Amino acid sequence: MALKSVSLFLSLLLTFLLSNVSAVSGRVAQVDVWHIKDPKFSAGPWQPIKDPKSSQVQEIGAFAVTEHNKQTKEDLKFESVDSGETEVVDGINYRLILSANDGDASNEYEAVVWDKPWAHFRNLTSFKLI
Protein backbone atom coordinates (compact mmCIF):
# COMPACT_ATOMS: atom_id res chain seq x y z
CA MET A 1 0.00 0.00 0.00
CA ALA A 2 2.89 2.42 0.76
CA LEU A 3 4.35 1.81 -2.71
CA LYS A 4 1.01 2.70 -4.34
CA SER A 5 0.84 5.94 -2.29
CA VAL A 6 4.38 6.91 -3.27
CA SER A 7 3.66 6.12 -6.94
CA LEU A 8 0.46 8.13 -6.82
CA PHE A 9 2.24 11.03 -5.12
CA LEU A 10 5.07 10.99 -7.69
CA SER A 11 2.58 10.81 -10.56
CA LEU A 12 0.65 13.78 -9.18
CA LEU A 13 3.87 15.71 -8.54
CA LEU A 14 5.10 15.03 -12.07
CA THR A 15 1.74 16.09 -13.54
CA PHE A 16 1.80 19.27 -11.45
CA LEU A 17 5.35 20.12 -12.52
CA LEU A 18 4.66 19.48 -16.19
CA SER A 19 1.49 21.58 -16.13
CA ASN A 20 3.43 24.45 -14.53
CA VAL A 21 6.15 24.18 -17.16
CA SER A 22 3.44 24.41 -19.83
CA ALA A 23 1.89 27.41 -18.11
CA VAL A 24 5.26 29.16 -17.86
CA SER A 25 6.02 28.36 -21.50
CA GLY A 26 2.68 29.90 -22.46
CA ARG A 27 3.50 33.07 -20.57
CA VAL A 28 6.91 33.31 -22.24
CA ALA A 29 5.24 32.96 -25.62
CA GLN A 30 2.85 35.76 -24.69
CA VAL A 31 5.71 38.01 -23.60
CA ASP A 32 7.58 37.29 -26.85
CA VAL A 33 4.70 38.93 -28.70
CA TRP A 34 6.16 42.24 -27.46
CA HIS A 35 9.38 41.55 -29.39
CA ILE A 36 7.82 41.58 -32.83
CA LYS A 37 10.33 42.64 -35.50
CA ASP A 38 7.76 44.73 -37.37
CA PRO A 39 8.72 48.42 -37.50
CA LYS A 40 5.05 49.38 -37.40
CA PHE A 41 4.66 47.74 -33.99
CA SER A 42 4.52 50.58 -31.50
CA ALA A 43 5.79 50.20 -27.97
CA GLY A 44 5.51 53.91 -27.37
CA PRO A 45 3.97 57.09 -28.75
CA TRP A 46 5.68 59.37 -31.26
CA GLN A 47 7.86 61.94 -29.49
CA PRO A 48 9.21 65.15 -31.09
CA ILE A 49 12.93 65.21 -31.83
CA LYS A 50 14.39 67.95 -29.64
CA ASP A 51 17.39 68.65 -31.88
CA PRO A 52 16.66 67.78 -35.54
CA LYS A 53 19.96 69.46 -36.52
CA SER A 54 22.01 66.93 -34.51
CA SER A 55 24.55 64.97 -36.53
CA GLN A 56 22.77 61.67 -35.80
CA VAL A 57 19.41 62.90 -37.09
CA GLN A 58 21.05 64.52 -40.13
CA GLU A 59 22.84 61.22 -40.87
CA ILE A 60 19.53 59.34 -40.77
CA GLY A 61 17.96 61.94 -43.10
CA ALA A 62 20.86 61.58 -45.54
CA PHE A 63 20.46 57.80 -45.36
CA ALA A 64 16.75 58.15 -46.23
CA VAL A 65 17.53 60.18 -49.35
CA THR A 66 20.33 57.82 -50.43
CA GLU A 67 18.10 54.76 -49.99
CA HIS A 68 15.23 56.45 -51.82
CA ASN A 69 17.59 57.22 -54.71
CA LYS A 70 18.75 53.58 -54.83
CA GLN A 71 15.17 52.30 -54.86
CA THR A 72 13.80 54.75 -57.42
CA LYS A 73 16.89 55.63 -59.52
CA GLU A 74 16.21 59.31 -58.75
CA ASP A 75 19.00 61.75 -57.97
CA LEU A 76 17.77 63.80 -55.02
CA LYS A 77 20.39 65.74 -53.08
CA PHE A 78 19.91 65.73 -49.32
CA GLU A 79 19.88 69.21 -47.79
CA SER A 80 18.71 68.90 -44.16
CA VAL A 81 16.26 67.46 -41.67
CA ASP A 82 13.88 70.23 -40.64
CA SER A 83 11.87 68.41 -37.95
CA GLY A 84 10.91 64.94 -36.87
CA GLU A 85 9.61 62.49 -34.34
CA THR A 86 10.80 59.19 -32.91
CA GLU A 87 8.88 56.13 -31.84
CA VAL A 88 10.31 53.30 -29.75
CA VAL A 89 9.82 49.92 -31.40
CA ASP A 90 12.30 47.06 -31.73
CA GLY A 91 14.74 49.89 -32.30
CA ILE A 92 13.63 53.40 -33.15
CA ASN A 93 11.41 54.66 -35.95
CA TYR A 94 12.34 58.14 -37.15
CA ARG A 95 9.63 60.09 -38.97
CA LEU A 96 11.50 63.01 -40.52
CA ILE A 97 10.52 66.08 -42.49
CA LEU A 98 13.51 66.76 -44.67
CA SER A 99 14.57 68.98 -47.56
CA ALA A 100 16.11 67.58 -50.71
CA ASN A 101 16.82 69.08 -54.09
CA ASP A 102 15.64 67.35 -57.27
CA GLY A 103 17.91 69.42 -59.52
CA ASP A 104 15.29 72.06 -60.23
CA ALA A 105 13.97 72.94 -56.78
CA SER A 106 14.21 72.16 -53.11
CA ASN A 107 11.24 70.13 -51.84
CA GLU A 108 10.06 68.74 -48.53
CA TYR A 109 9.67 65.01 -47.99
CA GLU A 110 8.48 62.81 -45.18
CA ALA A 111 10.73 59.82 -44.56
CA VAL A 112 10.34 57.02 -42.04
CA VAL A 113 13.49 55.13 -41.12
CA TRP A 114 13.67 52.12 -38.81
CA ASP A 115 17.01 52.10 -36.97
CA LYS A 116 18.60 49.45 -34.74
CA PRO A 117 22.13 50.76 -34.16
CA TRP A 118 23.21 47.84 -31.94
CA ALA A 119 22.44 45.47 -34.81
CA HIS A 120 23.93 47.76 -37.51
CA PHE A 121 20.50 47.76 -39.16
CA ARG A 122 18.74 50.67 -40.81
CA ASN A 123 15.77 50.47 -43.17
CA LEU A 124 13.84 53.07 -45.15
CA THR A 125 10.18 52.30 -44.44
CA SER A 126 8.57 55.11 -46.44
CA PHE A 127 9.50 58.22 -48.38
CA LYS A 128 7.04 60.67 -49.92
CA LEU A 129 6.85 64.21 -51.23
CA ILE A 130 4.76 66.48 -49.01
pLDDT value for 31: 34
The predicted pLDDT at position 90 comes to 95
Residue 33: pLDDT band by 50, 70, 90 thresholds? very low
Q: What is the pLDDT of residue 1?
A: 56
> Which pLDDT value is given to residue 73?
97
CB contact at 8 A, 99 and 107: yes
Pairing of strands 91-101, 47-48: unpaired
From residue 88, give the alpha-carbon distance in Å to each of 70, 93, 101, 125.
26, 6, 30, 15
Q: How confident is the model at residue 16 (pLDDT cuts 50, 70, 90)?
A: low
Confidence of residue 22 (pLDDT cuts 50, 70, 90): very low
Which helix (H) or strand (E) segment holds residue 95: the answer is strand 91-101
* Mean pLDDT of the region 72-77: 98
- Give ∠ CA 32-47-107 in degrees, rounded to 5: 115
Assess whether pLDDT exceeds 70 at residue 17.
no
Residue 44 confidence (pLDDT): 85
